[in-house]
Amino acid sequence: GRLEAVTQQMGYHPQYLDSFLKTQHYLMHMDGPLPFDCRHYIAIMAAARHQCRYLVNLHVLQFLRAGGDPQWLRGLEFIPPKLRNLNEINKILAHRPWLITKEHIEKLLKISEWSWSLAELVHAVVLLAHCHALASFVFGCGCEQDEGLGGRGSLKPLSLGNQCFCEATAGNSCSQELLRINRKRSLDSCMELDSLRERMQRIHVETEGRDEMRLLQQDREEGEGQGAEVGVQSGSSYGTPGWLSPLADTDGEVTGATNLACYMQDPDFGYQDFARRDEDQTQVFRVQDYSWEDHGFSLVNRLYSDIGHLLDEKFRMVDGLQSSAMAKRQGCEPSVFKRGIWNYIHCMFGIRYDDYDYAEVNQLLERMLKVYIKTVTCYPEKTNSEMFDRFWKQFKHSEKVHVNLLILEARMQAELLYALQAITQYMI
């Protein structure tokens, strides 16, 4: 239950918040193909691709509460090969989803003892897309800079006050059951924090000696001339022992690994502009050939029961949010304005709609808004407070949150379309 900053922002649109929370709860806590600890570790891997400490720290705590092996928090080298094999598709989905092919799917499904089932893979793909898109929302609304989660930035979005987000949205579709669950989680968090501290301190004591011996041995092998480099292994993703696992800081708070690079490989792999050239094998993804409504929904719902309905409700919910003020200021109908944003986001991932005139995008979206949308969508970790403040100065905070919700859902659907199409091609 450490999603206060995110839920406060989404609380400006309580009906969407209710749909989002139902989906996230189902993904993380209800019956499904994947074990609970693996779900949270996959979320850690996904959030790390965008250097989102907010989500990494959140899921580190939930991973431990789900009974996860603390040694896994030392990095990808310490997790089962089956999970580690997910790294490639995580990397591609996060930055260039158009590169996913049925060969990537086949590789995961046919690795002897470490193979994934189709149901497990669909669950994992939905989790990855969910967390990548949520990282965009976290950076876009400034939640990464939330002081309570160790943020370092200066972005200070409006707050709903000290009340629980459920209390702020009571009577607007946020159910009493949801209120009860979140209050219980808050109590559980307080009761479990001490035991988590003790567990992490024990891990620190147990590993400290081994790490010291390893570093001394490495020092002897490298020679005195390289003594200053002790602690950085060749080809390793981590440096000092303090980065090997989450530890209690000086204030007694349990924090996640400070070096997020230990949760990913090939950190230099990032977004590149999608461009269609005659000599390029990359093809434009045409929604007329493979859409969420006609293809993706039925596939994901068949392999991971009911998640299709929850995702579809969330897509429809963000499309139904009122945006008359935004549209009025742009001199167009609300549906036209929202479709312009949605199609612009999909266009950056190579997804095209044959029935849409893309000249409208330049007419509807001013330059600063386009820069903001592209940054939050494609490389959210580069979002800063100046960008947030500069776009649409005359617009309300709730309207800016609405734009970020559109980014979240459009990006998630784009990743799912590519992944599910590849799975479909494998199954044919």
The catalytic residue positions are 52
| Backbone φ and ψ of 42, nearest 5° | -60, -40
d(CA 91, CA 47): 11
- One-letter amino acid of 319: D
> Encoding tokens for residue 273?
């502009």
Contact by Cβ (8 Å): 231, 215: yes
Contact by Cβ (8 Å): 119, 306: no
d(CA 322, CA 338): 10
| Number of Cα atoms under 13 Å in the Cβ half of residue 243 | 15
Q: How many CB atoms lie within 10 A of CB 269?
A: 15
> Encoding tokens for residue 80?
């089962």
Residues whose CB falls within 8 Å of the CB of residue 167, separated by 6 or more in sequence, listed in order: 179
d(CA 185, CA 100): 38
Contact by Cβ (8 Å): 307, 300: yes
